[in-house]
Amino acid sequence: MELLLFIVLVFLCFAVAWQEVRIRKEKIHNQQLIQQAKVLTSNLQKSEHSSEAKSRYLSGISHELRTPLNVIMGYAQILEQQEDNPNQIQIKLIRQNCEHLNHLIESLLEFSAMEAGKLKVQKELLNLPELIKQLSYMFQNMAEEKGLTFNVSCPDYIPEWVKTDRQRLRQILINLLSNAIKFTEQGAVNIKLEYRSQVVKFTIEDTGSGMKAEDMDKIFQPFKRLKQHQKHTAGTGLGLPISKLLAELLGGELQVSSQWQQGSQFILKLMLSPQSAPTETNEVPSPLPLTNKQLNILVVDDQKAHLDLMAAVLKTLGHKSRQELNSTAALDLLANKKFDLLLLDINMPELSGWDLAEHIRTAGHQMPIVMLSGNARDQVGSEQSHHQAYLTKPVQIDQLKQCLNQLTQSQDVTQEEQSLAESQTHPISLSKSQQATLQSMADIGHISGILKKIEEWRQQQQIGRHSFNRLKSAANSYQIQRIKDLLNHAQN
């Protein structure tokens, strides 16, 4: 009996000791898990900080690149308009290469935005056969210049209207077709559409150099170039990575198959359900009459080269201008001299263009303000609307000309009082969410966004004809205050 009790006691002691060992092991394991979680969290935070730092760096370097590019491209545009210039061909080449550089900069910024998860898609109605027709026209000449055959196959059963991000889909197809022609020296480039179970399948084939098996996984990696293509490849190496990311952003997929020296095949699949045709066709507004009024314009920029360029551009357009290198000098000048319009650079030391615009409005000046920047994303930098238009560098002379015309053609009448009276007498009808959407765009002067959104609502019959026409007329004339008055007095 005593022996049995001794055995039981020994067993219990052993069990207790084993339990203590197991508990210590679990504590150590839990501590290891907690430490690993801390390391992972730390690495994630570092990765996020690194991504933000990279985005800020790319945004800053794009501004530094675009400033000299703007000067070169601006003078090229001025010289190109001189019909008697004997160097027209060379000048045209300069401008075209500037546009190419600008496209490369945009690609870098766009890839950075996608990596940071800041790029969003906008669903809108798209005429699919019309898009293919436009692409066919665009690339037919490009292929013929290289002696290639360009074939398009778009069957009748393809839905006419679908809903997707028009700009992003177009961008993907342009990237794929451009590459197909670039890497094909003889033979053909084909684009074929198929439709089944609400899935559109775009197939882009070429008879070009193709790819080796070991290189297939590299083509969707950013900044990668294949060895066999290094001799004749231009670009950043971002076209295909951007296309793949955009395809996934649209809820689809992009696949590739290829054989060395026998060509490549890219397949884009997207679910695009058929949509009803819009109830009415949006007519393109007729161009506004050009103003004959000579404007006195103040240009503020911390870059002397850009000031000299804008002086030359405005002189070409028939306007007078005054240039200032800093915001403080501009404010002092405005206290003693009147101007018809202001052109303000956003990225300036001490006082930015946004801050300068706010100071100008606080001082009671009401002339139109146009913001200029080398980064298109700078237009979200102001929470308040003190400006009437926004242009990116390199400045397109025709775009600047149209902007100045639209901003100044009605300056001789008291637009704000008339707009307010009209808004109160004949209010538009919008939902609260629609008002909030347009108000946020009006606050940053995002005219193109307002036009795009109201056209989308009109196509979907979410906004009446009267409201659509009133808003569209104000947006086409860059009348931010009139848009705000319409929104403030809108009926729900």
pLDDT of residue 343: 94
Domain locations in the chain as residue ranges:
124-228+235-271, 296-408, 415-488
Which of 148-152, 287-291, 344-348, 391-395 has the weakest average pLDDT?
A: 287-291
Query: Nearest CA to 266 among 202, 174, 181?
Result: 202
- Mean pLDDT across 129-145: 86
Q: What is the reported pLDDT for 282?
A: 41
What is the C-alpha to C-alpha distance for residues 389 and 483, in angstroms, rounded to an integer? 13
pLDDT tops 90 at residue 303: no
Most confident of 88-102, 277-291, 381-395: 88-102
Tell how far CA 349 is from the center of its chain.
Answer: 26
- CA distances from residue 301 to 113, 298, 344, 383 in whole angstroms, order as listed: 27, 10, 7, 22
CATH H-level, domain 124-228+235-271: superfamily: Histidine kinase-like ATPase, C-terminal domain (3.30.565.10)
Query: How is residue 438 written in tokens?
Result: 């347009």
d(CA 67, CA 488): 39
Does the structure show a pLDDT above 50 at 230? no
pLDDT tops 60 at residue 295: yes
How far apart CA 226 and CA 231 sit, in angstroms, is 10
Total Cβ atoms within 10 A of residue 393: 24
Cα 341 to the chain's mean position, in Å? 27
Cα(83)–Cα(87) distance, integer angstroms: 10
Place of tokens 């705000």: 484
Rg (CA), the chain: 30
Lowest average pLDDT, out of 89-103, 107-121, 134-148, 458-472, goes to 107-121
In this prediction, residue 51 has a pLDDT band, given cuts at 50, 70 and 90, of low
- pLDDT for residue 401: 86
User: Quick check: helix, strand or coil at residue 329?
Assistant: helix
pLDDT band at 320 (very low <50, low <70, confident <90, very high): very high
Please give the pLDDT value at position 284: 35
Q: Which residues contact 468 (CB under 8 A, 6 or more apart)?
A: 454, 457, 458
pLDDT band of residue 283 (cuts 50, 70, 90) is very low
How far are the Cα atoms of 438, 450, 461, 473 from residue 485, in angstroms, in the given order? 12, 15, 23, 13
Judge whether residue 16 has pLDDT over 50.
Answer: yes
pLDDT in tens, 421-451: 555 556 888 888 888 888 877 776 677 778 8
Question: Which SS3 state, helix, strand or coil, does residue 87 take?
Answer: coil
Fold of 296-408: Rossmann fold (3.40.50)
